[in-house]
Chains A and B, each alone.
Chain A
């Protein structure tokens, strides 16, 4: 397992598909805090899995004007079905081709498994990582770390 990018590092740029015909680049969000939530896969078989949980906590993130992006190696069609099923109100990005390339830049790709770590990054409005955390794949990290990191951003 490689270490994920630490606080102080500049957040690597990426451009990924959000929908079949739309892409999003990280740099488009410069000027506001961004939360990157890399996760292993859509369709975890539990109530309140990590993405469903963040969906509910979204209003708390929005108090800090932070944009949340979920990222996994699932394709756009899979993300679309998953987001629809769980009524997700934030974008899911497909790190699909070349597979895991964005996650790799953040040290958040598990080559042996072929999916992303459960890794979280809070990026400030200037594109600098201010907090990062890698959870054991089986443990949903919750949102307390993210909320604390957002809280400590300069106003």
Chain B
């Protein structure tokens, strides 16, 4: 059974109650259609569990098959550095079929972030190290494609439709 090798910490983007009994970690790729499919499902799951669940998103861009995935991840990290990670995360998934430099500029403007600074950060690859660190940690934890979910540190190998995810999380909750 593969387990999360990098504990959730201050470098992470976390949604939800710090003391929640459950932690759901997703390794995802903004250009992956399966992650796009999982995006609204995760939102429903968060709503279902409320304060009992916190959600963490980590980058796992598959560059060779998804040419915009890494720069999308860097764009989200840029927004994160300005306190708007989740807003950008949501917008990127909601406009998944238009990923690219033009969209990143547009989304930065929409979130009132300096689009020129984003351009410079992408050019200098300012946030690449963070994205790569997420990726390396994922590889060591047994991420086997995207999305890969960990529920309280254990890789979930089941399907990730809403009912499946809720059932898998409930099972962990019961076993506590």
Q: Which residue of B lies closest to A60 (CB)?
A: B139
- One of B2, B32, B136, B155 near A48 (C-beta < 8 A): B32
Q: Which residues of B contact A (CB under 8 A)?
A: 2, 5, 29, 32-34, 62-66, 135-136, 139-146, 148, 155, 157
Bound Cα distance from A89 to B63, whole angstroms: 13
Bound Cα distance from A60 to B141, whole angstroms: 13
Q: Cβ of B140 and Cβ of A147 under 8 Å apart?
A: yes
Interface majority SS on B: helix, strand, loop or mixed? loop
A144 interface contact, C-beta 8 A: yes
With A47-B32, A48-B32 known to touch, is A140 a contact of B63 (CB < 8 Å)? no
With A52-B62, A56-B62 known to touch, is A47 a contact of B140 (CB < 8 Å)? no
Q: Cβ of B144 and Cβ of A53 under 8 Å apart?
A: yes
- One of A48, A50, A56, A144 near B140 (C-beta < 8 A): A144
Q: Cβ of A87 and Cβ of B65 under 8 Å apart?
A: yes
A sample of 12 more A-B contacts (CB under 8 A), given A52-B64, A140-B145, A144-B5, is: A48-B65, A53-B144, A55-B64, A56-B63, A86-B64, A86-B65, A140-B144, A141-B144, A144-B139, A144-B140, A145-B142, A147-B140
